[in-house]
A and B are shown apart, each in its own frame.
Chain A
Amino acid sequence: MIKISEVYKTYNEGQVSEVKALNGINLNIAEGDYTVIVGSNGSGKSTLLNIIAGSVLPTSGTIMLDNENITKLPDHQRSKWLARVFQNPLSGTASGLSIIDNFRLAAIRTQPKGLKIGISDHFAQQVKDKIATLGLGLEDKINQQMGTLSGGQRQALTLLMSVMDSCKVILLDEPTAALDPRSANIVMQTADKIVKEFNLTAILITHNLKDAYTYGNRLIQMGEGQLMRDLNTAEKEKLQQNQLFEWFS
Chain B
Amino acid sequence: MDFYLTALLQGLCLSAIALGVYLSMKIFNIPDITTDGSYTLGGVVTATMLTHQQSLWLTIPAVLVIGGIAGAVTGLIHTKLKINALLAGILVMTALYSVNLKILGRSNVPLLNTASIFNWLNITADPNQNSLVILLIVVILLVAVIGYLLKTDFGIAMRATGDSEQMIRAMGVNTDRMKITGLALANGLTALSGFMMTQFQGFADINMGIGIVITGLGSVIIAETLINWLRITSVVWSLILVVGGAIVFQMVLAVTLSIGVDANLLKLVTAVFVLLIVSLPRLSFRRQHD
Give chain A's interface residues, CB within 8 Å of chain B: 53, 55, 74-77, 79-80, 82-84, 86, 90-98, 101-102, 104-106, 108-111, 113-119, 143, 145
Across the interface, A97 reaches (CB within 8 A) one of B148, B159, B169, B175, namely B159
CB neighbours (8 Å) of B170 from chain A are 53, 75-76, 79, 82-84, 92, 109
A157 CA / B162 CA spacing, docked (Å): 20
Cβ–Cβ contact B160 & A109, under 8 A:
no
A65 CB, nearest partner CB in chain B, Å: 15
A84 CA / B175 CA spacing, docked (Å): 17
Across the interface, B152 reaches (CB within 8 A) one of A75, A77, A114, namely A114
A95 CA / B160 CA spacing, docked (Å): 9
Across the interface, B156 reaches (CB within 8 A) one of A80, A91, A104, A143, namely A104
A143 CA / B169 CA spacing, docked (Å): 23
Across the interface, B173 reaches (CB within 8 A) one of A55, A113, A115, A117, namely A113
B102 CB-CB contact with A under 8 Å: no
Cβ–Cβ contact A91 & B167, under 8 A:
yes
A6 CA / B117 CA spacing, docked (Å): 66
Which residues of chain B in 140-165 are interfacial with respect to chain A, using CB atoms and an 8 Å cutoff?
148-149, 151-154, 156-157, 159-160, 162-164
CB neighbours (8 Å) of A97 from chain B are 156, 159-160, 163
Cβ–Cβ contact B173 & A96, under 8 A:
no
Interface-central residue, B160, B173, B174, B175, by most chain A CB under 10 Å: B160
Cβ–Cβ contact A105 & B171, under 8 A:
yes
B260 CB-CB contact with A under 8 Å: no
Across the interface, A113 reaches (CB within 8 A) one of B157, B166, B167, namely B157
Cβ–Cβ contact A79 & B172, under 8 A:
yes
Across the interface, A105 reaches (CB within 8 A) one of B160, B174, B233, namely B160
Cβ–Cβ contact A94 & B159, under 8 A:
yes
B278 CB-CB contact with A under 8 Å: no
Mask, B54-73, CB within 8 Å of A = 1, is 00000000000000000000
B168 CB-CB contact with A under 8 Å: yes
A53 CB, nearest partner CB in chain B, Å: 8
Mask, B211-238, CB within 8 Å of A = 1, is 0000000000000000000000100000
CB neighbours (8 Å) of B153 from chain A are 104-105, 108, 113-118
B161 CB, nearest partner CB in chain A, Å: 9
A80 CA / B174 CA spacing, docked (Å): 13
Mask, B169-202, CB within 8 Å of A = 1, is 1111111000000000000000000000000000
